């Protein structure tokens, strides 16, 4: 018999707040979410997605139109250009903010007036599954809560994590080179506040259960405005204990379970996605036992796939793919190659050695990329991420430099992503094949701005209509590939996947639909030289009729040897 919601919640809270009245806290959380103690539980291990799901990642103001709020322009662009291609849209933080392009939130419950209003957000949510950021680890130093912290007033007086002089922070894992502790003058003296990311992004104190209650109320508001997917930003750093690494602590995992439980009981088809830019094995822990994240970002995919395509060698990508556990029903991977951030390098720990990683960094720098660093516990600065537009990242090879295969290489990367187990997500500037934006870097002084261009809708529509431009070619071909993917049950995010062994220049895997009514062999030449595939070696069943979905051509001789051009792909299907 299913345990009552309040009892399940109380048991989770006991693991985080053993000294508190967790029965009363559970009741307060349910009240904040508008839930009754006997609210029925949603089905477990339920897939909230299928092969038709494709995410778009964008800022609210990535596409602009004179005289119109950007959220309305975004809706116009989605409806006119992507209605048949994407099912969901992740709008990066659209709240009032003070820095980091939205990730230093000043007010969680307001829409940035420059972007639009809640009505504009709701209009997008009515036609697309809306994903929004829950910027849960930190808040702006210019927020009302932090102003109250300085004045020693509620709410906010004890909402931020403080360190004491002499606290052991030697083991803390850092994603930045900036100081971890920032001295702040308050009305009762100087305080040391914890700043994992920047001085303007002050870490919240979840050891105070009132902070958890605040976020329950925030989540309820987001759900009522139409948000159906929650991206838990930087959640791995949520719980702090001096003397530890302050990352992936058990209390963090328990709090994700608490929030997941509240969210899915309020709205059973809502999803939680954890954003944990960390080594692969650590990332996988955020599935829990199918009771934490519904989906995790597949952070190792971008650096490994880019490395594969610029070296012409798929050994590491293939080894990683073979090591990836199939996601349990009710969980899945979110696959992406590029995002608003850079290409993370920590997810290559244990997958690329130092020399290979440095070669990748050097190659990306030769294609115009920049490198951001983090500070290790022993005080060394190590490359943390590569800042570069994906179009430029795939402009050539490590050994030969820029070449004339850029378009084919770029499309090959997305063809692989679309076929892999999981839900594909396209960053808007990859869908548009945008180049490095050096002027924006100069304007903002931030390396990540290299891949955060803003464009005018009229100009964008004009360039996308031009099939002679690489922007138009990429956009229309990616839409074609998406349409093919969405029609294949073998591309369901939880369909079976096995890695094929076809040498180092051919990257292949097999997908089979959950009903076993479709098999798909996905084979990709990841090199700049032609490669041969012996169809007899991949075990095509002779009694089935096979077709290459990418060309529409039937396969009539199952023993033939096929030559793949540089960066050409095959999707061989038996239906």
* Binding site as annotated, residues: 100, 138, 231-233, 340-341, 448
Q: How far apart are CA 438 and CA 329, in angstroms?
A: 43
Cα angle at 280 between 176 and 259, to 5 degrees?
80
Q: Please, which residues bridge with residue 570 across strands? A: 523
Cβ(132)–Cβ(218) below 8 Å: no
Q: Residue holding tokens 């869908």?
A: 431
CA–CA gap between residue 170 and residue 79 (Å, rounded): 51
Q: Is 543 exposed, middle or buried (0-12, 13-18, 19+ CB in 10 A)?
A: exposed
Instruction: Show the tokens assigned to 60.
Output: 């609210």
Cα–Cα dist 515/32, whole Å: 42
Is residue 211 within 8 A of residue 202, CB to CB? The reply is: no
Residue 376 tokens, joined: 């290790």
Q: 3-state class of 11 per DSSP?
A: helix
Helix axes 301-311 and 315-323, enclosed angle (nearest 10): 150
CA distances from 466 to 3, 22, 430, 436 (A): 59, 61, 17, 20
Neighbours of 513 (CB within 10 A): 19
Tokens found for residue 16: 């985080």
Give buried/exposed letters for 53-70 (b at 16+ CB in 10 A, else e): bbbbbbbbbbbbbeeebb
Q: Which segments within 206-277 are labelled E, that is strand?
A: 227-232, 271-274
* HSE (side-chain half, CA atoms, 13 Å) at 245: 9
Q: Are 558 and 534 in contact (CB under 8 A)?
A: no
Dihedral, CA of residue 157, residue 161, residue 167 and residue 168, to nearest 10: 180
SS (H, E, C) 382-432: EEEEEECCHHHHCCEECCCEECCCHHHHHHHHHHHHHHCCCEEEEEHHHHC
Residue 470 near residue 407 (C-beta atoms within 8 A) = yes
Omega within 30 of 0 (cis) for the link into 548: no
Candidate list 53, 61, 133, 233, residue with the active-site label: 233
Residues in binding site for substrate? 100, 138, 231-233, 340-341, 448
Structure-block tokens of residue 394 = 């795939």
Among 476, 478, 531, 522, smallest CA distance to 496 is for: 522
537 carries an active-site annotation = no
Q: Quick one: 553 exposed, middle or buried, by C-beta within 10 A (0-12, 13-18, 19+)?
A: exposed
Active site residues: 233
């Amino acid at each position: 018999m299913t345990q009552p919601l309040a009892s399940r919640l109380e048991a989770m809270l006991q693991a985080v707040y053993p000294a508190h009245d967790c029965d009363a806290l559970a009741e307060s959380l349910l009240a904040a979410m508008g839930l009754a103690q006997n609210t029925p539980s949603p089905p477990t291990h339920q897939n909230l997605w299928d092969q038709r799901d494709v995410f778009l990642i964008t800022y609210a103001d990535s596409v602009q139109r004179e005289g119109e709020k950007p959220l309305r322009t975004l809706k116009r662009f989605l409806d006119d250009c992507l209605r048949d291609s994407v099912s969901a849209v992740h709008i990066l933080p659209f709240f009032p903010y003070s820095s980091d392009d939205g990730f230093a939130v000043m007010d969680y419950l307001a829409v940035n007036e420059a972007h639009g209003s809640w009505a504009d957000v709701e209009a997008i949510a009515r036609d697309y599954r809306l994903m929004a950021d829950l910027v849960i680890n930190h808040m702006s130093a210019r927020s009302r809560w932090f102003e109250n912290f300085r004045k020693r007033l509620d709410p906010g007086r004890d909402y931020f994590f403080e360190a004491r002089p002499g606290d052991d922070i030697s083991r803390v894992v850092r994603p930045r080179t900036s100081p971890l502790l920032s001295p702040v003058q308050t009305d009762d003296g100087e305080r040391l506040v914890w700043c994992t990311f920047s001085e303007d992004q002050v870490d919240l104190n979840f050891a105070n259960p009132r902070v958890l209650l605040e976020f329950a109320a925030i989540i309820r508001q987001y759900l009522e405005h139409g948000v159906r997917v929650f991206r838990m930003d930087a959640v791995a750093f949520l719980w702090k204990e001096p003397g530890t690494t302050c990352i992936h602590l058990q209390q963090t995992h328990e709090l994700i379970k608490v929030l997941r439980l509240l969210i899915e009981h309020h709205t059973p088809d809502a999803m939680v996605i954890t954003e944990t830019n960390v080594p692969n094995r650590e990332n996988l822990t955020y599935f829990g036992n199918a009771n934490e994240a519904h989906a995790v970002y597949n952070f190792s995919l971008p650096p490994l796939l880019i490395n594969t395509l610029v070296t012409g060698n798929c050994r590491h990508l293939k080894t990683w793919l073979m090591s990836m556990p199939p996601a349990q029903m009710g969980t899945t991977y979110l696959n992406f190659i590029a995002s608003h951030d850079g290409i993370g390098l920590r997810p290559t720990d244990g997958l690329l050695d130092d020399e290979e990683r440095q070669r990748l960094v050097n190659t990306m720098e030769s294609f115009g990329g920049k490198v951001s660093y983090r500070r290790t516990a022993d005080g060394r600065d190590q490359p943390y991420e590569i800042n570069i537009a994906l179009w430029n990242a795939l402009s050539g090879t490590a050994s030969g430099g820029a070449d004339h295969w850029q378009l084919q290489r770029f499309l090959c990367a997305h063809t692989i992503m679309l076929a892999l187990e999981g839900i594909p997500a396209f960053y808007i500037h990859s869908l548009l094949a945008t180049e490095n934006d050096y002027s924006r870097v100069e304007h903002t002084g931030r390396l990540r701005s290299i891949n955060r261009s803003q464009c005018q809708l009229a100009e964008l529509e004009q360039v996308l209509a031009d099939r002679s431009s690489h922007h138009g070619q990429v956009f229309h071909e990616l839409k074609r590939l998406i349409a093919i993917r969405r029609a294949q049950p073998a591309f369901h995010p939880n369909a079976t996947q096995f890695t094929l062994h076809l040498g180092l220049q051919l990257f292949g895997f097999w997908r089979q639909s959950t009903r076993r009514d479709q098999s798909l062999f996905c084979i990709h030449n990841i090199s700049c030289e032609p490669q041969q595939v012996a169809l007899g070696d991949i075990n095509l069943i002779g009694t089935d009729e096979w077709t290459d979905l990418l060309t529409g051509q039937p396969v009539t001789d199952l023993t033939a040897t096929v030559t793949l051009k540089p960066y050409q792909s095959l999707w061989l299907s038996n239906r």
